Structure 1
Amino acid sequence: MQIFRDSFGPGFCEFCGCLLSVSSVCQFSIEVCFNSDPVLPKYRRKVKFLAQRKTIVGRGQSQLYYDGHHPMAITLQSSCNVVEPCPPSDRLSQLVQIGVAHEPDRMKRMENQPSIGLNPIQEILIGPGLDLEFESDIDPSAPEPAQYETAYVTSHKSPCRAGAFSIDGQLCATGSVDASIKILDVDRMLAKSSMESAEPQNDQQGHPVIRTLYDHIEEVTCLEFHPSSPILASGSNDKTVKMFDYSKSSVRKAHKTIQESTLVRCLSFHPSGDFMIVGTDHFVLRMYDTTTTQCFVCCLPTSQHKQAITAVKYSQDGRIYCSGSKDGDIKLWDGVSSKCVATFNRAHDGAEISSLTFTRNGKYLLSSGKDSLVKLWELSSARCLIAYTGAGSMGQQVHRAQAVFNHTEDYVLFPNEATTSLCAWNSRNAARQNLLSLGHNGVVRHLCHAPTSAAFLTCSDDFRARFWYKRQIHVSA
């Protein structure tokens, strides 16, 4: 509301100079904006926005009086600096009922949302995802994360710090400080767990590890599967991004390599798979053509981060992508022009950004930082809507930890560095769920959830990666 105080000082209308309260807009300004063409459109929009907000506050105050909540109505009036109290009225409740009655069916709206490469049955099972604008109070349909159990364990020769699931959830991959990468079959892991205990397996018949890749010479820092082709991309401290065609059973080496100038920290494929964004120890965000490996960067140097990039992610439709940095800022970029369209300055009070992920509908962005907080941002308003708290008893974290949604976006998951346990919240109301002990003997360095089922992967400094799964219980009639 301070947009109307630039020219005449605090509390004065920008157009006529009359004295205003914080939530007021003078009638003269409204008439000028809507009846006079010379006024700039952006000011017309600002006045209209404030007028709408004033109406909403008034309706809310009237409804509180009508329902008998007089202290709350007075608090609302004082906090919004409304000069004149509003009379009791049930109009807000009536408007809500009318709006809900004429609200379009949610599944019809889902038809216009981008597909994530699943068949219709899978999309029905995982549901429409998180949308606080509609159905903000529904009960979760997915199992609580604390009910998951370890189904399989695989080991590396050094700390395991990278992991990823394929888009259909049938494969997962792990990467290690020993420079190796393993690709595992999810169905084989589940078959093993149904017969044996969750310990590292040595027999080769039906072994879950279907590929072991050796082409990096230093730590593997990040992994991501191509959205439509049998290709796995990896980044490393050896300053390279490599792409492996795992459709060939004999594959060990990458078929394509991108040479970077500094160590690679994160990467993300465009939904088409034609492009890839890469974050490195350098502050400039890169975009690569995955066919030609040609590099593109934003033409405005002032739009770039100030320190190393720690997290990148494309939205589901590829229209925007995001980046987070050690400088504590989160940036949104146009997916076509690669121009920075928004910056969330000091998104975690200046703490380093650890992870970023979009909701499937592209309305929200989930972020985590080294301040041990997880935040949900509304992109249309650039506001933090929800802060998921209570994960870090020690405050600042030493290592980056990923905050992720489960496959239905009913829950937010985040590993606790101090206790090696998994924290979870209801994504809609931030209600804390039961803790899950992750069973690692070292810090959990990476967490990723399967996109289509109740399964997630944890990678740890104890050299192990654990595959967690919640089996469905079938009750016979």
Structure 2
Amino acid sequence: MSEEMQVKQREVMYRLMISQLFYDGYKDQAVSLAQVIKPYPACPPSDRLFSLFNVGHKLEEEKSEAKEVPKVNNFVAPGSGIDLEFETEVTTISAEASLYETCYVTAHKAACRTARFHPTGQLIATGSEDCSIKILDVERMLAKSVTPADILAMETHQQQMENHPVIRTLYDHAEEVTCLDFHPYEQLLASGSKDFSIRFFEYSKPSVKKAYKSIQEAAPLRCLAFHPSGDYLLVGTEHPTLRVYDSRTLQCFVGSNPQDQHKAPLTAVDWSPNGNMYASSSKDGDIKVWDGVSNKCVTTFRLAHQGQQVCSLYFSRNSKYLLTSGKDSLVKLWELSTNRCLIVYTGAGATGKMDHRTQAVFNHTEDYVLFPDEKTTSLCCWDSRNAERQNLLALGHNGPVRALAHSPTGPAFVSCSEDYRARFWYRKATTD
């Protein structure tokens, strides 16, 4: 073996050691070793060294017992999302947020409060304080952004209607629309409002402006999320008790143990992509993880954000991690198998305390974490694996960003602000 090859192998070995130390909570020791080795890029927390040790140990046992060695195939394929259990050497396959551009801007008549992408990434729904909901077509927004102004000026009224990015505007709420979610398979949109109601819209019908069915709640709605199958709807209100509705019969279910519930209004809910569990957060500062079958709380992260209100939470695609943000201006990545905070993404707030709720989200490949800075109205971006800060993106809003949603399928996101506007951002392909 050449000397150069041996040096490279030693670099990989030291990177594994640093990542394992970070993962096991030995931060000072990991930093000390990193100052000597000077790895580039920075090493993320990872359990890969221990996993490799276990694999080697099992192989030795099987050799001694003269058994056939099974094939081990636990490594995640590129582009399948974040998995710190095995990752140490990862090349990002997507662009950081600072390279995105505004492609379209739509305005409501009052503050824009919420936004949601369809699971296919082809549609976006926005909700506003003016009680309206807009559904926008992503392809039409992209087409409009690249069509010259003189060509757009020549379009007939009929062509303008056919090519307009806003394909539906829905009016059926009496107060501010606070939350939205698309059904994963059917052409349905669920919306929640401060008017104490959940409404279901069949947006495939162009003439429909009103909901075809609704649920009357006992308190203003704050958050909702469809089960990955679409069969259930997770609902959070100003009341501390979490609800699960059958989306067809509208039958309501709650956990059997009242002690499991939060102690203050709910702020965010989300289902794990595998449907086995769901999570909730509250103004009480706690995050709870629930069993998706029994509706029992299995984990509670108490005062997860230094006692401040938890603003958002999202599961990673492999259901192993939970990404959360709080009014302490921090974003955290929680590992659910060990019930601990694995990574803290810092530097988003100069004052530390936020006045408004907003969301932290993964990009579509989970290579980056995005979170808007309330004071500067710019977008912070971190490498999701090692928490390295990337370049800021000026969002161009004239007020705090109250909602952020990234496409699950491509390099696109939407930002919603107090300035009444929702901006659609996209990373355009570069050509030589």
TM-score norm. by structure 2 comes to 0.82
The 2-side partners of 1:143 and 1:349 are apart by: 32
The corresponding residue for 1:136 is 88
Q: Does 1:183 align with 2:140?
A: no
The 2-side partners of 1:93 and 1:129 are apart by: 19
Conservation of the 8 A alpha-carbon contact between 1:137 and 1:428: no
Q: 2:220 aligns with which of 260, 263, 274?
A: 263
In the alignment, structure 1 segments of 5+ residues that lack a partner are: 1-55, 61-67, 73-90, 111-123
Conservation of the 8 A alpha-carbon contact between 1:162 and 1:446: yes
Q: 1:290 aligns with which of 247, 268, 287?
A: 247
The corresponding residue for 2:359 is 402
The 2-side partners of 1:319 and 1:296 are apart by: 16
Offset, 1:472: 1.1
Offset, 1:194: 0.4
- Counterparts of 1:214-293 in structure 2 under 5 Å? 214-293=171-250
- Counterparts of 1:430-445 in structure 2 under 5 Å? 430-445=387-402
Offset, 1:104: 3.3
Amino acid corresponding to residue 169 of structure 1 in structure 2: G
Conservation of the 8 A alpha-carbon contact between 2:226 and 2:271: yes
Q: 1:104 aligns with which of 69, 72, 76?
A: 72
Q: 2:147 aligns with which of 195, 204, 223?
A: 195
The corresponding residue for 1:163 is 115
Distance 1:172 1:103, change over 3 A: farther
Q: Does 1:306 align with 2:258?
A: no
The 2-side partners of 1:320 and 1:470 are apart by: 33
Amino acid corresponding to residue 139 of structure 2 in structure 1: D
Any idea what the Cα deviations from partners look like across 1:267-309, whole Å, max 9, x if unmatched? Answer: 0110110101100000000010010111100111111000000
1:188 counterpart SS class: helix
Q: Once the two structures are aligned, what percentage of the paired residues are identical?
A: 58
Amino acid corresponding to residue 235 of structure 1 in structure 2: G
Q: 2:102 aligns with which of 150, 156, 162?
A: 150
The 2-side partners of 1:360 and 1:233 are apart by: 22
- Counterparts of 1:339-350 in structure 2 under 5 Å? 339-350=296-307
Conservation of the 8 A alpha-carbon contact between 2:310 and 2:326: yes
The 1-side partners of 2:351 and 2:141 are apart by: 35
Whose Rg is larger? 1
Any idea what the Cα deviations from partners look like across 1:389-426, whole Å, max 9, x if unmatched? Answer: 00011111011110000000000000000000000000
Distance 1:346 1:148, change over 3 A: same
2:145 counterpart SS class: helix
Offset, 1:134: 1.4
The 1-side partners of 2:51 and 2:265 are apart by: 50
The 1-side partners of 2:399 and 2:233 are apart by: 32
Amino acid corresponding to residue 170 of structure 1 in structure 2: Q
Distance 1:99 1:227, change over 3 A: farther
The 2-side partners of 1:321 and 1:220 are apart by: 23
Offset, 1:319: 0.4
The corresponding residue for 1:393 is 350
Distance 1:339 1:194, change over 3 A: same
Amino acid corresponding to residue 421 of structure 1 in structure 2: S
- Counterparts of 1:23-38 in structure 2 under 5 Å? none
Offset, 1:196: 5.0
The corresponding residue for 2:163 is 206
2:270 counterpart SS class: strand
Any idea what the Cα deviations from partners look like across 1:294-330, whole Å, max 9, x if unmatched? Answer: 1100111111000000000000011000000000000
Distance 1:206 1:299, change over 3 A: same
Q: CA RMSD in A?
A: 2.8
Which protein has greater RCO, CA pairs closer than 8 Å, 6+ apart?
2
1:204 counterpart SS class: helix
Alignment length (residue pairs):
375
The corresponding residue for 1:421 is 378
1:292 counterpart SS class: coil
TM-score norm. by structure 1 comes to 0.74
The 1-side partners of 2:58 and 2:139 are apart by: 43
Distance 1:161 1:143, change over 3 A: same
The 2-side partners of 1:251 and 1:94 are apart by: 57
- Counterparts of 1:322-341 in structure 2 under 5 Å? 322-341=279-298
Amino acid corresponding to residue 321 of structure 1 in structure 2: Y
The corresponding residue for 2:126 is 174
1:365 counterpart SS class: strand
Offset, 1:195: 1.7
Amino acid corresponding to residue 271 of structure 2 in structure 1: Y
The 2-side partners of 1:238 and 1:262 are apart by: 8
1:429 counterpart SS class: coil
Any idea what the Cα deviations from partners look like across 1:192-232, whole Å, max 9, x if unmatched? Answer: 000257xxx99434000111100001000011111111111
2:311 counterpart SS class: strand
Conservation of the 8 A alpha-carbon contact between 1:168 and 1:451: yes
Conservation of the 8 A alpha-carbon contact between 2:118 and 2:124: yes
Amino acid corresponding to residue 293 of structure 1 in structure 2: L
Conservation of the 8 A alpha-carbon contact between 2:51 and 2:86: no
The 2-side partners of 1:205 and 1:270 are apart by: 33
Any idea what the Cα deviations from partners look like across 1:228-282, whole Å, max 9, x if unmatched? Answer: 1111111100011111011111110011101111100000110110101100000
The 2-side partners of 1:332 and 1:161 are apart by: 26
The 1-side partners of 2:146 and 2:425 are apart by: 13
The corresponding residue for 1:25 is none
The corresponding residue for 2:323 is 366
